[in-house]
Amino acid sequence: QVQLAESGGGVVQAGGSLRLSCAHSGRALNNVTLGWFRQVPGRERDFVATINWIGYTYYLDSVKGRFTISRDNAKNTLYLQMNNLKPEDTAIYYCAAAYGSGPYASPDRYDYWGQGTRVTVSS
């Protein structure tokens, strides 16, 4: 089993920044791909960014150049640095873990999920 816990969400004005963290515990995460997804109530969960065990990254086009995904394997923590935030980035953000070398953009590929952290960007 793998447990994931997000933190760092909040309310920010457009153009501002937030850094989300995801602490993971349980089974060792060798050869595990980690990802960030987001969901607006009433809509499907959308891919945001992913990073595999060796640090290869892949992003949703609309966040490229604004968001940066990273992982600290020694601290068992995944990060999402979000800069120049826009109102359309408002959502609940989830971290997820998938066994395999990745990268994976489909939520169906992920085995474990956190509870989510809310991000609200005001205009």
Handedness of CA 71, 113, 7, 84 (dihedral sign): positive
14 dihedral zone (left: phi>0; alpha: psi -120 to 50; beta): beta
User: What is the chain's pLDDT, residue by residue, as a tens digit (123 residues)?
Assistant: 789 999 999 999 999 999 999 998 876 667 889 999 999 999 999 999 999 988 999 999 999 999 999 999 888 899 999 999 999 999 999 999 998 888 999 999 999 999 999 999 999
Q: What integer pLDDT is reported at residue 109 of this predicted model? A: 95
